[in-house]
Structure 1
Amino acid sequence: MHFHHFCVIFSFFTPVYSYEDYAQVKGCCTLKGPGFKDIEYIILSRFKKHKMMEYNSTRGNWTGFTVYSIEQAKNFNSDPADPLLRGFEKKILCTDNIPSVQTIDNLTVTPTIKMNSVIPSSSRHPAMVVCSAYNFFPKQIRVSWLRNGQVATSGVSCSEVMSDGNWYYQIHCYLEYTPALSDKIACMVEHFTLSEPVLRVLDPSLPEAEQNKIVVGMCGLILSFVFLSSGFIYYKKKSAAYITVCQGQNSIAVEEFNPIEATTQTIQDG
């Protein structure tokens, strides 16, 4: 069942400003049922933080909570013009705003869910996991942590649901825990737009940023090895080009040495 509640508040202060010395009148509309046809209009009057009087359209009368306001409520209830005035207020504040509420109610956006982990500097320090839900509407949402299938209660903290200023909302929930290989950490998100809760399971591998660093480092290491090997091979070839073969007092460079002539000369010398 769809439900909407909105209020209009008027506050009145005494000439000498004081947070304690003020009167406040709040008119609220509660819209329920198909098409929001079930409407309840409530007026609440306060003075110095104390509840004075209340009007409820379901009951159709005023209720007083102090000696003075009880007498005032009796006067309002006996006034034939008061129901007409309350009915006019209900129409202006509640009934006439049903189309706007229906438009807002039809505006639903499924949250985008992201999870990030922070690797601790040592096994003695707890790890931090962050589960974030972005760009969702309506505002009502529930984010909880599961550890090995059980709802985690310790080390859990969540931010308030924050408005993005464009009808959308976001929320961030954190979990501190000591990493263990057997642990299965999951973030569970429940929202009006989801037919069932969505689970995001923590990947025990390194975060993407850390993986990228390792890949870049390995590529650099491989390239260094290739360059080093190429230099070593080039050096060996360069050195071999200047090895000489001695015959008597003559030295012939390998680059200028003809294997066929060398064989013929060796036989003749023999």
Structure 2
Amino acid sequence: MGAGRILGAGSPWAGALLVTLTVLRTHLAHCTEPPEHFLYQAKAECLFTNGTGRVRLVVRGIYDRQQTDHFDSELGVFVADTELGRPDAELWNKDPAILADARAAVDTFCRHNYGAVRQFSVDRRVQPKVKVSPTTSGSGPHSHLLVCSVTGFYPSGIEIKWLKNGQEQTAGVVSTELLQNRDWTFQILVMLEMSPRRGDVYTCQVEHISLRGPLAVNWEAQSDAARSKMLTGVGGFVLGLIFLVPGLLIYLKNKKGRPVPQPAGLLS
């Protein structure tokens, strides 16, 4: 089921809205002095079931956040919800042109715009990007956080699980709110508090309608000794480069300044 809430330019409702405002101003003038600032809104909803197999149109007239009248395509007439909306509903129901446009809008407005709405929202699929990164938690001396960053997916429905050595983890899992990006995709962070031991494998598993199956990104815990060896190796490699580069530059400079030896036959 989908809903569209924006009236298009040139909509048959434009004339009805002008009539609404005219009647509203006249009605207020007969009752009481209208406020200096007020807001009148008309909201249209297209409700789809089984694609366009069944379509229902509901248009609501709202004055200062209170619904005054509405049109329901399943009823085929305008209905007053307050006394303020009664003159409007009675006037529109007596006007054959307005009533005909309202009844036809299920096709001219809802079904007509269904293709564009479906292409952007209903059929749109964007796969999520998943990244796992560790960070230190301040809740304990040996506690850490694993952060699963899931970004750039559409639609918003998504399921994210944390696994430890294949077993789902529920304790210590914290999630941020679902955030919408400027391109209408979504992002979310799901964090797991852990106390890793060497060899433990943590998995962020993501299920989304755009994926053929669950997407899993692993992170394996390493011991402090292993991390120290890795850092030592990286440090040694960097130091080697520091000493190697100047020596190579000196060698190339000296080689450039030497005379090129000539074959013995050319000197005789």
- Please state which band the TM-score falls in when normalised by the shorter chain: 0.5 to 0.7
List gaps (5 residues or longer) in structure 1.
Answer: 226-270
Aligned mates of 1:219, 1:187 — CA distance in 2: 28
Q: Secondary structure at the match of 1:81?
A: helix
**Distance change in 2, residues 1:49/1:185 (3 Å):** farther
- Amino acid across the alignment from 2:181: S
In structure 2, the residue matched to 1:47 is: 63
1:162 partnered with 2:180 = yes
Q: Which has the higher strand share?
A: 1
Distance in 2 (CA, whole Å) between partners of 1:218 and 1:74 is 85
Secondary structure of the corresponding residue to residue 220 of structure 2:
coil
Q: Which amino acid aligns with 1:32?
A: T
C-alpha contact (below 8 Å) 1:191/1:197 kept by paired residues: yes
Structure 1 match to 2:75: 59
Alignment-derived partner of residue 102 in structure 2: 86
Greater RCO (Cα-Cα under 8 Å, separation 6 or more): 2
Q: CA RMSD in A?
A: 4.0
User: Number of residue pairs matched?
Assistant: 211
Q: Which residues in structure 2 correspond to 1:1-270 (within 5 Å)?
A: 3-8=1-6, 16-17=36-37, 21-34=38-51, 36-70=52-86, 72-104=88-120, 105-120=122-137, 123-124=140-141, 126-137=143-154, 139-146=155-162, 149=167, 152=170, 156-165=174-183, 169-181=185-197, 186-205=203-222, 215-221=230-236
Q: For the structure 1 residues 107 and 68, does the alpha-carbon distance in structure 2 shift closer, same or farther, using more than 3 Å as the test? A: closer
Matched-pair contact (CA < 8 Å) for 1:144–1:151? no
CA contact (8 A) 1:128 1:174 kept: no
SS at match of 1:8: coil
Report the TM-score when normalising by structure 1. Answer: 0.59
> Are the counterparts in 2 of residues 130 and 172 from structure 1 also a CA contact under 8 Å?
no
Write the deviation string for residues 106-133 of structure 1: whole angstroms up to 9, x where unpaired: 4422222222221347843753332222
Cα distance between partner residues in 2 of 1:25 and 1:100: 22
1:20-75 CA-to-partner distances (Å, cap 9, x unmatched) read x31111112233324x3432221112122122222221332333322333564355
CA shift, 1:200, in A, is: 3.8
- The TM-score normalised by the length of structure 2 is 0.60
| Partner-residue secondary structure (3-state), 1:190 | strand
Letter in 1 for 2:127: T
Letter in 1 for 2:3: H
Aligned equivalents of 1:201 and 1:77: distance in 2? 64
Task: Give the conservation status (yes or no) of the 8 Å contact 2:162–2:192.
Answer: no
Change over 3 Å in CA distance of 1:69–1:205 after alignment to 2: farther
Structure 2 residue runs of 5 or longer lacking an equivalent are 8-13, 22-33, 241-268
Q: Tell whether the 8 Å contact from 1:144 to 1:188 is kept in structure 2 after alignment.
A: yes
Change (3 A) 1:47 1:125: farther
SS at match of 2:3: strand
Separation in 2 of the partners of 1:70 and 1:151? Answer: 58
Q: How big is the shift at 1:215?
A: 3.2
Decide which structure has the larger Cα Rg and report it: 1
Alignment CA distance shift 1:201-1:94 (3 Å): same
Question: Matches of 1:214 and 1:172 in 2, distance apart?
Answer: 34
Moved more, 126-135 or 74-83: 74-83
Say whether the 8 Å CA contact 2:174–2:192 is kept in structure 1: yes
- How much does 1:154 deviate? 5.8
Contact 1:31 1:40 in 2 (8 A): yes
